[in-house]
Copies of this chain bind each other. A is one copy, B any other.
Amino acid sequence: MAKGKIQKKSGYHHGNLRGQLVNAAGRLIEQNGPDGFSMSDACRLAGVSTAAPYRHFSSKQDLLTEVAMDGLRRLGEDMERQASGHPRGTVQSIAAIGRAYVGFAIREPHTFRLMFSTKEHAGRIDELKAVGRGSYGVLLREVAGYLGEPEINETVLRWSFPLWTQVHGLSFLSIDGKLEVTDFPVDINESIYIATERLLPAME
């Protein structure tokens, strides 16, 4: 994202095919969804033959996994950034993390779905899990602060999990267009704040 400059291939060789394929894949996935995405499309977009990607990725899934991991990292950054705009360890900062989470899902629904789908990433689940754990840490630290816990212990884990569950569910319901099923206008930010409050212990 935010690449802009499309690098032209200067002849037989390309220069930065790997990066540009991830880039193209990201854009195409956001347009057509992970299923609608085809390796051939990405090749056309990058101006190379359909066999070229296999010098950089062992399969289509492999490329998708790359896109997913990139997304997970960016999600973590978003959460960190949003949280830092509020006093640490408060309902506000924790709700801000939730807003970042759902916001990402709404902004890049297909990538978000890809990030949390198992089947596409067979064989590299551990890698993916590690990146995910990193991003989850942002929430854990904030909750630890709220609870006044000096480190990330089981208490922190127990209070954090329902918060994750909540925003995760809200994300999916949003991007799958299920909010209309509820028959009343859901204000996402309000939803997040209310649930965050209810799912945390009152602290003084």
Interface, chain A (partner B; CB < 8 A): 33, 35-36, 113, 116-119, 125, 129, 132-133, 136, 154, 157-158, 160-162, 164-173, 175-178, 180-184, 186, 191, 194-195, 198-199
Count of identical protomers in the assembly: 2
Residues of chain B contacted by A176 (CB below 8 angstroms): 116-118
Residue of B with least CB distance to A132? B181
Distance A119 CA – B34 CA, assembled complex (angstroms): 10
Q: Is chain A's interface secondary structure helix, strand, loop, or mixed overall?
A: helix
Instruction: Say whether A184 contacts B154, CB under 8 Å.
Output: yes
A157 and B183: CB pair below 8 A?
yes
Pairwise interchain contact B35-A119, C-beta atoms closer than 8 A: yes
Q: Are B182 and A157 in contact (CB under 8 A)?
A: yes
Q: A129-B181, A162-B166, A165-B170 are in contact. List 15 more A-B contacts (CB 8 A).
A: A35-B119, A36-B119, A116-B178, A125-B177, A132-B178, A136-B181, A160-B182, A161-B186, A161-B191, A164-B169, A164-B182, A165-B166, A166-B166, A169-B170, A198-B199
Q: Which residues of B contact A33 (CB under 8 A)?
A: 119
